[in-house]
């Protein structure tokens, strides 16, 4: 299994960050890695979303796992024998802010190739999410 994790601390509250994460219609505004996204159903465990990333010819289908309001969620994408889990975790800080963590776990024959591609933009995505959350998007 291939893993990589990045974190950032934001002055925004967990509920402010959660508001952005749980509203997929805003993702392309702060995440340059999202060209388009469509969620089927509520932002809840078991729901499915389809996402297109810039430059990719295909749409990826992912399932939401372990959705916890103000606490985070995991999304799972399966492509052939490769399984990609991305954990999005929010932890309240004593200051009232939030530690935001993205962790990718990739298993399967292409894990060492796919993992770095999936997580390469995590630092930029987290910085953008932090900036938007701190300005009350």
Give the containing element (helix H, strand E) for 128: helix 122-134
- Give the pLDDT confidence of 66-121 residue by residue, as tens digits: 999 999 999 999 989 999 999 999 999 999 999 999 999 999 999 999 999 999 99
Instruction: Determine contact, residues 43/64, Cβ cutoff 8 Å.
Output: yes
Beta-carbon-side half-sphere exposure of residue 28 (alpha carbons within 13 Å):
10
Second-level CATH architecture of 2-134? 2-Layer Sandwich (3.30)
- DSSP symbol at 80: T
Render 95-124 in DSSP notation, one character per residue: TS-EEEEEEEEEESTTHHHHHHHHHTTHHH
Give the global pTM.
0.93
* Ranges of each domain in the chain: 2-134
- Give the pLDDT confidence of 17-69 residue by residue, as tens digits: 999 999 999 999 999 989 999 999 999 999 999 999 888 778 999 999 999 99
Residues near 129 by Cβ (< 8 Å), separated by ≥ 6? 8, 10, 17, 20, 21, 30, 31, 100
């Amino acid at each position: 299994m291939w893993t990589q994790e990045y974190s950032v601390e934001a002055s925004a509250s967990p509920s402010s960050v959660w508001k952005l994460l749980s509203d997929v219609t805003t993702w392309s505004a702060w995440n340059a890695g999202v060209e388009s996204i469509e969620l089927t159903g509520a932002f809840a465990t078991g729901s499915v979303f389809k996402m297109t990333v810039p430059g990719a010819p295909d749409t990826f289908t992912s399932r939401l796992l372990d959705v916890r309001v103000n606490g985070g969620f995991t999304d799972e994408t399966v492509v052939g024998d490769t399984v990609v889990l991305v954990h999005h975790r929010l932890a309240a800080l004593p200051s009232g802010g939030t530690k935001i963590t993205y962790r990718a776990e990739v298993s399967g024959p292409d894990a060492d190739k796919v993992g770095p591609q999936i997580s390469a933009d995590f630092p930029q995505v987290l910085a953008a999410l932090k900036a938007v959350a701190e300005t009350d998007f």
